[in-house]
Amino acid sequence: MSDNNNNNEKFHEYDGIIEHDNPLPMWWLWTFFLTIIFSFIYFIHYELAGGQTQSEELAAAMAEIEQAQSKAHTSSPMETEESLKAAFGNDGILALGESQYTSKCASCHGAQLQGLIGPNLADKFWVHGKGTRMDIVKVIRDGVAEKGMPPWGPVMKKDEIYAVSAFILAKRGTQAPDAKEPQGEAVEDYLTAQ
C-alpha cells in the first residue's frame, strides 16, 4: 500500500493495479440507506403485519364494484306493473323494441320469437317468472347465467330494455312457424296480463 502525499489522495496499489479510495457521493449513500429502510418496512407490512397481497386487493376492489352495482340497481326507481304499463305505452316504443330485439335477441330467440337456442317467447309458457312486465324486464336486464343468456342491463339503456320488453309482450300469443316446443310453466291468463 502506498500513499501519495502530493495529491492528498489515498490509494492502494497491488500487483500494478491502483485502487483509489474515493468516497461515494452522499446522494448515493442516502438513496442506498432509504432503500434498506423501505425494504425493512415493506417486509414488516406484508410478511408480519398481514398487508393485502395484489390478489386480495383485487378481490376487495371487485367486491366494491359488485356492491356499487347492486346499490345502483336498488337505488333506481322501483318498477311496478303500472309504471311499466305506462312506459310501454310510449310512442315509438314498439319500433325501437323491434330493432333492439332484432339486433340483440333474435339470434337466440328467433326473428319471430319462435325460439332457437333460447325459449319461445310468443307462447304462454314461461321458464323464468310468469311473463309479467316486471319478469320480462328483470330477465333482460339481469340475464340468466346458467342458461347462457347475458345480462343486457350494462349494455342497453333502460328505455331500450323497456322497448324490447314491450315488443315481446306485444307478440305474445302469435303463432310462429317452426316454433320451439313449450318450456317452463303455462300461464293461462298470459294475454289478459297485457
Alpha-carbon gap, residue 86 to 136, rounded angstroms:
15
Task: Give which of 189, 82, 76, 63 is closest to 134, Cα–Cα.
Answer: 82
Q: What is the C-alpha R_g of the chain?
A: 35
Nearest 10 degrees: Cα torsion 40, 44, 45, 48:
160
Task: Give which of 166, 162, 164 is closest to 105, Cα–Cα.
Answer: 164
In this structure, the strands spanning 9-14 and 17-20 are antiparallel
In the chain, where the domains are located: 2-48, 81-186
Question: Is 155 within 8 Å of 86 (Cβ atoms)?
Answer: no
- What's the pLDDT tens digit per position in 156-169? 888 898 888 888 88
Start-to-end C-alpha separation, the chain? 104
Please state whether the predicted TM-score (pTM) of the whole model is above 0.85. Answer: no
pLDDT recorded at residue 3:
47
- What's the pLDDT tens digit per position in 91-130? 888 899 899 989 999 888 888 888 888 888 888 888 888 8
Alpha-carbon gap, residue 124 to 186, rounded angstroms:
6
Instruction: Write down the CATH number for the domain with range 81-186.
Output: 1.10.760.10
**pLDDT above 60: residue 77:** no
Alpha-carbon gap, residue 35 to 24, rounded angstroms:
16
More confidently predicted of 149 and 31: 31
Read off the pLDDT band of 8 (50, 70, 90). low
Task: Give which of 168, 176, 172, 164 is closest to 192, Cα–Cα.
Answer: 172
Question: Is 20 within 8 Å of 9 (Cβ atoms)?
Answer: yes
pLDDT recorded at residue 189:
61
Read off the pLDDT band of 44 (50, 70, 90). very high
Any idea what the Cα angle at residue 88 is, between residues 85 and 89, rounded to 5°?
90
